[in-house]
């Protein structure tokens, strides 16, 4: 049972992640952009944050860096739509240096739950 923050600009994605994690017993907060997400993290100090890499406003890498620098989350996961030609895949590759793990969307519910368990158990 962990406190998790989801930062993604697509409402359908947020609803899916919130639904899956809540059903598994976790406490989930959500934000639609990086700025709001960091604000939330300051108040909530989540165990884990899931951050989309390609968002308008503050981009994913900046958000990850800010969360890490301010020590706001236990663990950080970078998410991406996994488009391979350019952009999304590069963003995800870059994110591996800024996050503890990465996930390509759309991911399986079971994979998300397994990753959360692993990272939250590992601790800071």
List interacting residues with another protein (CB under 8 A): 8, 10, 12-13, 15-17, 19-20, 23, 54, 80-89, 104-109
Tokens 């992640």 sit on residue? 17
27-31/3-7 β-pairing: parallel
Burial of 50 (0-12, 13-18, 19+ CB in 10 A): buried
**Nearer to another protein (CB atom), residue 84 or residue 114:** 84
Least distance to another protein from the beta carbon of 45, Å? 26
Q: Is there a contact between 34 and 55 (Cβ–Cβ < 8 Å)?
A: yes
**Nearer to another protein (CB atom), residue 26 or residue 74:** 26
Least distance to another protein from the beta carbon of 23, Å? 6
């Amino acid at each position: 049972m962990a406190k998790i923050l989801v930062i993604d600009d697509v409402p359908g994605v947020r609803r899916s992640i919130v639904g899956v994690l809540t059903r598994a017993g976790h406490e989930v907060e959500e934000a639609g952009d990086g700025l709001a997400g960091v604000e939330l993290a300051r108040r909530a100090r989540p165990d884990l944050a899931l951050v989309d890499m390609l968002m308008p406003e503050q981009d994913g890498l900046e958000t990850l860096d800010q969360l890490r620098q301010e020590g706001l989350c236990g663990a950080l996961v970078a998410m991406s739509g996994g488009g391979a030609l350019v952009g999304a895949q590069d963003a995800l590759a870059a994110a591996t240096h800024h996050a503890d793990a990465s996930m390509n969307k759309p991911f399986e519910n079971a994979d998300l739950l397994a990753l959360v368990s692993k990272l939250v158990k590992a601790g800071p």
